[in-house]
Amino acid sequence: MSATITSGKKKLKLVGTRPVRPDGVPKVTGLARFGADYSLPGMLWGKILRSPHAHARIRSIDTSKAQALPGVKAVITSADLPEQEFEYVGPERVAVNFWHMTRNIMAREKVLYEGHAVAAVAAISRTVADEALRLIKVDYEVLPHVINVEEAMQPDAPLLFEDMITRGVEPAPNKPSNISKRIELKIGDLEAGFAAADEIVEGSFKTAPVHQGYIEPQACLARFDPDGQAELWASSQGHFVIRALTARLLGMDIGNLRVYPAEIGGGFGGKNVPYVEPVALALSRKSGHPVKIVMSREEVFKACGPAPGSSMTVRIGVRKDGKIVAADGLFKFQAGAVPGSPVMNACMCAFSPYDIPNVRTVGYDVVCNRPKTAAYRAPGSPISAYAVENVIDMVAARIGMDPLRFRLENIARPGTPTVSGPKHTHEGFAETIQALMQHPGYTAPLGKNQGRGFASGYWFNNGGESSAAVHVNEDGTVLVATGSADLSGTRASIALMAAETLGIDYDKVRPIVADTASIGYSHISAGSRTTFATGIAVVDACKKVIGDLCARAAMIWDVNAEDVVWEDGCARCTGNKAGECEPLSLKAIAAKRSVTGGPIVAEVSVNAGGVAPGFATEFCDVEVDPETGAVKVLRFVAAQDVGRAIHPAYVEGQIQGGAAQGIGWALNEEYIYDEAGRLTNAGFLDYRVPVASDLPRIEAVLVEVLNPNHPFGAKGVGEANIVPSLAAVANAVSRAIGRRMTELPMSPPKILKAVNGEQ
Amino acid sequence: MTKNHVTATVNGDVVEFLCETHQTLLEVLRDELGLTGTKEGCGTGDCGACSVTIDGRLMCSCLVLGVEADGKAIQTIEGMAVGTALHSLQRKFLEHAALQCGICTPGILIAARSLLERNPDPTEEEVRYWLAGNLCRCTGYHKIVDAVLDAAREIRGG
C-alpha cells in the first residue's frame, strides 16, 4: 500500500488521479513500435565488428574479403566518419568531447575495451552480415590493459591516452596519466571543523560498475538519401539530442536529419547518447539502402555505458549533541575508456542533504579499459550517497542516536549552503524522514539475523529546454504534441495537466511525442525533467489557447475581451452582457473555428528554471542467511518528496523501480573481468538483475511538498528514489551481521567472509 | 542457402513461411511474419521478453528454431485480445499502471496468462516465482504482481 502525505493541496479535478495511460493499449497488445520494430522496403541489416582485446593498437583493417561477399552492400570503419576537434564543450558537469565520442562510436588508433566497435557491415540478411564480419581482418598489437580504478591511477599504469594531462590541477602535471580530471569543492574551514568534533568516523568503500539493464537493446533504422537528406527511427531518451550528435558525428547539417522517436524500452540514462545511430546512418549513406541495426544483449553489456565503479573514503566529524561539524569525501570514479564519469555530480550531491558548515569533496575521473560509462538514474549520487550514508549510520551508532533522528537534526533547509555554491531553496527533506518515523515498520521488532537500515539521498532534478504544441480540433478534442521522449508514462501526466488547465475531460486530450521536424527543440528526457519542464510548456501552451478561445468568445458575444474569463472548460462573460451570454464550451468555440479566425493552435517553447531538488529517505529490513551469506530483503519503504504527484500510480512506479534497481546494485550486480580484461558476465544469466521472486513489495510513500515554480507543484520523480537505496540495504546488512560491509555488491561470498570474520 | 518450408498455426491462423535452419522462432515471428509484439531482450532465454506458448506450453521463442514450429500451435501477444475485447490481464495491467516502458509487457502478459490457466488462484509468492523468468527493469514488479492477482480474481468471477 502507498501512503500520501500532502501539504497545501488545492482542489484539482484531474491532476492527482490515476487514469489509464493514453499510450497503454498498444503496449499491452504488442502493437507499440519500439526501436527494433521498424522496417523499410529494401532494408539492409547492419552489424558491428567489435574488439576481442581490452587494449590494442590497430595496425590495419582489411575489409576487402567482406566487401566482396555477395549480399554485402557496405563496409565502414572510422575512416568513414570525419575526424573531430579535441575540445570539451557544454557545461562542465556534462561536458562532451567529440574527439573522444567519434572514437567511442568507431575505434581509430586503438581499441580501448573489449567490445569496442572497429568496423561495420550492411548486408541483405543478418546471416550474410554475420558472415561478412568474420571476413574482416584486423591486425592488432595487443597492449597491457588496466581495469581497476586504483591501479589505473598508479604512475606506472598502462596509459589509454599517451598525452592525457590531468585537468583541474595547478600547476598542470608534466607527465600524462589516466586521471582525466581532478575536482575539488569546499566550503568553510575543514581543519577547524574537525578540530571542533567530539567524534570523527571514517570509512572507505568500493562499488562495482553496474548496467542500467534496460530490457530493450539499442536499435534503430536509418535512411540516407543521395540528396543528403536522412531519416532515423530510434529508441532514445531524446531524439533532438540523437539528431544533433549523430549529425555532428557524420559531418552533416542538423537540418538534413529528421529523427522519429520510437517507443523506448527502458533507458535510465543509458540512452541519452547514440551508439548504433551514427553507424547505421553511415552504412546507409555508403550503401544507398535503409539500414537497421539491433544490438545483441552481449553488445549492450560490453559496449554501452554502465555506471562507474568507484573507490571512496568519507570522514565525518560530529559533536556529542549530534551536530555534524565537518565532512570530507574522496571519490575516485572509473570513467571507462572515455573521460566523463559523473564524479562531479558525486562531489556535489554527497553531503548536500545536510547542513554542514565545513565540507570538502575531491573527485577523480579516471579512464580505464572498460566501456565508457553512461548516465544511470541520478548519475553519481547513489554512489557517493552509499559511502556517505554508511558513515552517517556509523556516526549515529557511535554517538548513540537514532539514525533517523540524527539525520533530522542535521538536515539542509532553504538557505543552507551547498558545497557547490548555491544555497538550498526548497523544503521537503524533513518530511521524508518524518514520514518514515511515523511508519509502523520503523519500530516493528526484528528477528534473528535481521537488520534494519536507513538512508537518505539528494538529487538536483532538472529543468531546461522543452516545447509543446496544443491543437484544438473542430470537435473539441485536443492534440498535445511535445518533443519529449516518454520513458515511463509521461504522456499520461502531460494529458492530465493539459486537461486540467483547459477544463476538459482527460480522454479528450491526445498527447503525442512529435518528431524533430514537427515540434521545437526539446532536450532529453533525463534528470527527472519531463513532467516538470515539458509540463510547464504544455500548461503555457494551454493558457495561450485559452486566451485565444476567450478572444473568440468575445467576438461571438460582441463584448470586450477583458469581459471574458475561462472557468471549468467554458468561456464566461463577466461584463454588462453577462446575463445574455450563455457560457461557451471549448467544444462550442471549436465548432466555430473557421468563422472566428481559423485554426486554434499554440506552440510554446521554454527553458524552464525554478527546479526543485528531490529528497528521499528509505528503510529496509533484511535477513541474512549465516550459512550461505544470501540476503533476503523482507521489507522496503521509500519516502520521496515528489512535489505534486501528477499521476500518483506512475510516481509510485518510479519509486518502486528505483528502489528495485538500488537493491540489485547493492546485492547482485557487477561487471566481472578476466585477467585478459574481458567481461565474463555479459548476459542476463550471469549479470543478474533482480527478478520478481527476489523482491518484496516496495512501499512508496509520496511526500508532496509542492514546488511553487510549477503550475501544479511538480518537482521531479524519476531519480531521487535510487540515491538512498544502496546504502539502506548496506546499513541493514551491516546491522544484521554486526559488521560493516564496505564493498558492493554484497554478494553471498563477501557476506560469508564477513560473518566468518575474514574481512 | 536452401530455406525450410514450415507450416504452423499462429494465433489460430494457419501460416506458412520459409526460414533458414538456424533462424529462431523469435526471428521468424518478427522478421518473416511481421509479428513484432514479441520482443528480443537477450536472445539467450534469460529475460522472457520473447515469451510465447507452443502447443500451450510457455517458451522463450529465442530458444526455439523456426523449423521446430512446424505443425505446432503458437500463441503470441497479438492473439491475446479477442477482436476489440482486451484480455482481463491486459486491462488490469493498464488499470494498475503495471507497465512503464512496456518492452517486457508482452512477454509478462503471455507468461501470466499461462500461470492463470494452470493456477486460477495463485498466491503472491506463486506469481513472483512464476514470473521470475521475466525481467522487468522499470517497475520493481510490485504493480505487475498486483495486476496479475487482480486479473485472477476477475477471471475467477470474484
Cross-chain Cβ contact A36/B40 below 8 Å: yes
Q: Are residue A589 and residue A642 in the same domain, yes or no?
A: no
What is the DSSP code (8-state) at residue A534?
A: I
Same domain for B114 and B49: no
Sign of the Cα pseudo-torsion (A320, A324, A326, A329, in order): positive
**Res A757: pLDDT:** 84
Of B50, B79, B108, which marks where a domain is finished? B79
Q: Residue A420 domain-assigned?
A: no
Please identify among residues 28-47 of chain B the ones whose CB lies closer than 8 Å to any CB of chain A: 30, 35-44, 46-47
- Check whether residue A627 and residue A751 sit in a common domain: yes
Positive or negative CA dihedral for A206, A209, A212, A213? Answer: negative
- B18 close contact with A: CB closer than 8 A: no
Quick one: B49 and B95 in the same domain?
Answer: no
Residue B108 identity: I
Q: Are residues B67 and B39 in the same domain?
A: yes
* Chain A residues 686-715 with a CB less than 8 Å from chain B: 689-695, 697-698
> What is the SS3 assignment for A217-286?
CCEEEEEECCCCCEEEEECCCCHHHHHHHHHHHHCCCHHHEEEEECECCCCCCCCCCCCCHHHHHHHHHH
Q: Does A240 touch chain B (CB under 8 A)?
A: no
Query: What distance in Å separates the CA atoms of residue A169 and residue A187, rounded to the nearest whole number?
Result: 19
* Vertex A552 angle, CA A551 and A555, to 5°: 90
Q: Do B60 and B29 share a structural domain?
A: yes
| 3 state SS of A472 | strand
Last residue of a domain, one of B42, B58, B79: B79
**Could you tell me which of A236, A211, A243 has the C-alpha nearest to residue A371?**
A211
Residues A508 and A626 in one domain: no
In angstroms, the separation between the Cα of residue B12 and the nearest Cα of chain A is 16
> What's the confidence (pLDDT) of residue B158?
67
Residue A113's pLDDT is 98
Closest among A404, A325, A341 to A375, alpha carbons compared: A341
pLDDT per position as a tens digit, A32-84: 999 999 999 999 999 999 999 999 999 999 999 999 999 999 999 999 999 99
Q: Which residues of chain B lie closer than 8 angstroms to A689, CB-CB?
A: 135, 137
Same domain, B120 and B137: yes
Cross-chain residue pair B137–A489, CB shorter than 8 Å: no
Q: Is A733 found in the same domain as A697?
A: yes
Q: What is the pLDDT of residues A309-363, one digit of tens each?
A: 999 999 999 999 999 999 999 999 999 999 999 999 999 999 999 999 999 999 9
DSSP string, A437-452: HTSGGGG----TTEEE
| A614-624 vs A600-608, strand pairing mode | unpaired
Instruction: Give the integer Cα–Cα distance in Å for B105 and B112.
Output: 10
Taking a contact as any Cβ pair under 8 Å apart, which residues of chain B between 110 and 149 contact chain A?
A: 125, 127-129, 131-145
Residues A659, A719 within the same domain: yes
Range of the domain at A557: 464-608
Give pTM, 2 decimals.
Answer: 0.97
Please report whether residue A143 resides in a domain: no
How many distinct structural domains can be found in chain B?
2
The verdict on B23 and B75 lying in the same domain is yes
Residue A547 sits in the same domain as residue A634? no
Give A686 to chain B, closest Cα distance, Å: 9
SS (H, E, C) A35-61: HHHCCCCCCEEEEEEECCCCCEEEEEE
Establish if A45 touches chain B: CB-CB under 8 angstroms. Answer: no
CATH number reported for the structural domain that contains residue B26 in this entry: 3.10.20.30
What are the grid coordinates assigned to A450, written together? 535481521
Closest CA to A116 of A106, A130, A101: A106
In chain A, what residues touch B139 (CB-CB under 8 Å)?
Answer: 653, 656-657, 660
Q: Which three cell numbers stand for residue A388?
A: 556517505
In a domain, A470, yes or no: yes
Same structural domain, A530 and A629 = no
Give the E-state strand segments of A460-597 in sequence order. 464-472, 478-482, 509-513, 564-567, 570-573, 584-585
* Residue bearing cell 537500515: A453
Helix (H, G, I), strand (E, B) or coil at A143: coil
Query: Which of A608, A626, A659 is the last residue before a domain boundary?
Result: A608
A1 has a chain B CB within 8 A of its CB:
no
Give the domain range for residue B52. Answer: 4-79
Contact list, A267 vs chain B (CB under 8 Å): 101
Chain A contact for B93 (CB, 8 A cutoff): yes
For A63, half-sphere exposure in the C-beta direction (CA atoms, 13 angstrom radius) is: 19
Tell which of A573, A608, A643 closes a domain.
A608
Do B10 and B74 lie in one domain? The reply is yes
Q: Judge whether A122 lies within some domain.
A: no
Domain edge (last residue) among B79, B100, B116: B79
* 3-state secondary structure at position A614: strand
Residues of chain B with pLDDT under 70: 1, 158
The verdict on A518 and A594 lying in the same domain is yes
Query: How far does A174 lie from chain B, in Å, by closest CA?
Result: 45
Q: How far is CA A659 from the centre of its chain?
A: 14
pLDDT in the model for residue A347: 98
Considering the domain architecture, whether residues A482 and A589 belong to the same structural domain is answered as: yes
Answer yes or no: is A488 within a domain.
Answer: yes
Q: Does A130 touch chain B (CB under 8 A)?
A: no
Residue indicated by cell numbers 578540530: A195
Residues A593 and A526 in one domain: yes
CA distance linking residue A56 with residue A514, whole number of Å: 43
Q: Mind listing the pLDDT tens digit for each residue in B117-158?
A: 999 999 999 999 999 999 999 999 999 999 999 999 999 996
| Contact (CB, 8 A) for A633 and A659 | no
Which pLDDT does position A11 carry in this prediction? 85
pLDDT at A758: 66
Burial class (CB in 10 A: 0-12, 13-18, 19+), A194: middle
Q: Would A733 be classed as within a structural domain? A: yes
Q: How far apart are CA A505 and CA B60, in angstroms?
A: 41
Residue at A547 is within a domain:
yes
Burial class (CB in 10 A: 0-12, 13-18, 19+), A88: middle
Please report the ipTM that was assigned to this predicted complex.
0.98
- Report the Cα A473 to chain-centroid distance in Å: 35
pLDDT mean values, one per 10 residues, chain A (759 residues): 48 96 98 98 98 98 98 98 96 93 98 98 98 98 97 97 97 97 98 98 98 98 98 98 98 98 98 98 98 98 96 98 98 97 98 98 98 98 98 98 98 95 95 98 97 98 97 98 97 98 98 98 96 98 98 96 95 92 97 97 98 98 97 98 98 98 98 98 97 98 98 97 98 97 97 84
| Rounded Cα distance, A597 and A547, in Å | 13
Residue A383: how many other CB atoms lie within 10 Å: 32
Query: Residue A619 sits in a domain of what CATH number?
Result: 3.30.365.10
Q: What is the dihedral of CA A532, A537, A538, A542, to 10 degrees?
A: 140
Name, in order, each residue with C-beta under 8 angstroms of A196's C-beta and a sequence gap of 6 or more.
A317, A319, A325, A326
Shared-domain flag, residues B71 and B105: no
Domain count, chain A: 2
Taking the C-alpha atoms of residue A354 and residue A409, their distance in angstroms, rounded to an integer, is 9
Q: Are residues B9 and B57 in the same domain?
A: yes
A691 lies in the same domain as A573: no
Distance in Å, alpha carbon of A37 to nearest chain B alpha carbon: 6
